[in-house]
Structure 1
Amino acid sequence: MRNHFLLLLFIPFLFSCIPAKDIIYLQGEPIAKKEIKRINNIPYKLQVDDILNIDIMSNDETLVSVFKKQSIGGAGGVSEGASYFSGYSIDSYGNIRMPTLGEINVLGYTELEVRKKIENELKKFIKTQEELFVSVKLAGIKYTVIGEIGSPGPNVIFQNKLSIIDAISSSGDITAVGNRKKVEIIRNSITGTEKFTIDLTQINAFDSDVFYIKPNDIINVIPLKQKTWGTGTTGLGALTTIVSLFTLISTTFILARNL
């Protein structure tokens, strides 16, 4: 009878430990492919509250100076954090407001389309044969991580391409009880809200259409069942919980007999 009781106590121990295969990233061997697949080959379409860095240059700077925003930071240039103030924020109507050019609607446009749009607007004012160079790019990629992550909350990475591995590592990595096999990506677009999942424990995660995140993505790391069981994340943790439970039951039984 006692042996059966001990066996019942140790059953949770067998199921509560988190296997190594559930916490190791990008397992398996990469498969050679005949064709190179372009990941995320659909250009990002701008949304409300995105911030654009727009630069207009010419051989004759006096021609384009009236179309440019005054930079913050002086001779040293604009710092990454100052992009919020020096960039062009897309308002709730989908517009940006540029010096001289006025309001330009950019909602749902790609960076390339906005660049061409600005170039066409400039040609209405500049009639000379001077060469113009217009640069349009997002002022960093903003994303939010929630759930089982070291540092949850919003984050901004100042680069034009960001993998989900980079995003998670920049947010403190997934905790021991986070489900790496089913990480959710919630994405808002002009057509509505979409939800995707990706298994970060497998090497084929590189082939996923959501391996590279897009601005304003929400990454949700859901917990493993071991967290709700509360039996520990490692063998030692589970054993400690079981020993504590066994000690409590034994103590209660002894006290009950002595009453």
Structure 2
Amino acid sequence: MKKCTILLILIAVASSCVPVKRQTLLQSTEDVNKLAEGSGLMRMIEENNVEYRLQAGDVIQIRISSLTPTQFDVFSSIDDQQNDRLDPILTGFLVDKQGYITMPHLGKISVLGLSVPEVTDKIESLVDEILDTPTVYVRLVTFSVAVLGEVENQGRYSTFENKLNVLEAVGMAGGLTEFADGSKIKIVRTENGVSGITELNVLEESLISSNFYYVKPNDIIIVPALKTKNFRQNQANNIGLILSGLATIASVILVYDRLSD
């Protein structure tokens, strides 16, 4: 009876533990001691750099500075309007359904399908004839993603960065929980009215070369749970009841044996 009890305890402990291999991000499938030839680095992985391109409904913030005196700078009012103390979404420039933004003194500018750096170059070329040595700063202010499932803090998170990878997005949500299945993270993405789902494995280094390594605005990241979580929450309780029952039976047998003697 004692051996049976010990065996059940060992099974419960072993089954409720999550292997380190299921928790470690960006694991290598190669020899970790092999240096990339001539690089001085442990390994080099080519990143699939997919830049986000503006869509209708996006809002961008634009700042223009130059050596032109303020009294002659026709764009100085834009900086006043887009003061950091104000909501950048409310004071930014909306990409309309036709893919245009409308700026004072420049009129309608087509930005649909352009990356933020391309928009910067385009506006800079337009104001170059008006201002002395202009510098244009553009940022996307409607970049947000939802992170759900086995993370510390589920929710929607916003950033003013033009690029955000899936690991950074999960980090914004507090990171993965102990029972997160990092090998089957799903990303729901909607583009041009069509939604698609892809599955990522953040436990392997090959993630970096994935087309989905960088998330896009309005992506939904879903982190599923390992089966171990269900075992700990349900079966572990059942084993506890079994052990308690066995202990009771053992006590009854012990008392019976003593009375028989």
1:212 counterpart (193, 214, 229): 214
Per-residue displacement from partner, 1:58-86 (whole Å, max 9, x unpaired)?
Answer: 3224243277253355xxxx25x732233
Deviation at 1:201, TM superposition (A): 2.2
Offset of residue 192 of structure 1? 3.6
The within-5 A match list for 1:8-87 is 14-28=14-28, 29=32, 32-33=35-36, 38-60=46-68, 61=70, 62-65=72-75, 68=78, 70-71=80-81, 73=83, 78=84, 82-87=87-92
Cα distance, 1:230 vs structure 2: 4.5
CA shift for structure 1 position 153: 1.1
Shift of 1:228: 3.3
1:1-259 counterparts in 2 under 5 A? 14-28=14-28, 29=32, 32-33=35-36, 38-60=46-68, 61=70, 62-65=72-75, 68=78, 70-71=80-81, 73=83, 78=84, 82-119=87-124, 122=127, 130-139=132-141, 141-190=143-192, 192-231=194-233, 238=236, 242-247=239-244
SS in 1 for 2:74: helix
Max Rg structure: 2
CA distance 1:193–1:32, shift in 2 (3 Å): farther
Counterpart of 2:89 in 1: which secondary structure? helix
Give percent identity, aligned residues only: 29
How far apart in 1 are the matches of 2:193 and 2:50? 14
For 2:187 and 2:173, locate their aligned partners in 1 and report how far apart those are by CA, in whole Å: 15
3-state SS of 1:228 partner: helix
Cα separation, 2, equivalents of 1:245 and 1:130 = 82
Query: For residues 248 and 109 of structure 1, do their structure 2 counterparts lie closer, same or farther at Cα, with a shift above 3 Å needed?
Result: farther
Question: 1:191: Cα distance to partner?
Answer: 7.7
Amino acid at match of 1:55: R
Q: Report if the CA contact (8 A) 2:143-2:158 is conserved.
A: yes
TM-score by length of 1: 0.71
Shift of 1:15: 3.7
Q: Which residue of 1 aligns with 2:259?
A: none
TM-score, scaled relative to structure 2: 0.71
- In 1: Cα distance, 2:103 partner to 2:147 partner: 33
For the aligned residue pairs, the C-alpha RMSD in angstroms reads: 4.0
Asked if structure 1 preserves the Cα contact closer than 8 Å seen for 2:153 and 2:174, the reply is: yes
* Contiguous gaps of at least 5 residues in structure 2: 252-261
Contact 1:27–1:202, Cα closer than 8 Å, also in 2:
yes
Q: Distance in 1 between matches of 2:64 and 2:246?
A: 75
Moved more, 215-224 or 28-37: 28-37
Contact 1:72–1:86 (CA<8 Å) still a contact in 2?
yes
Q: Is the 8 A contact 1:47 1:94 kept in 2?
A: yes
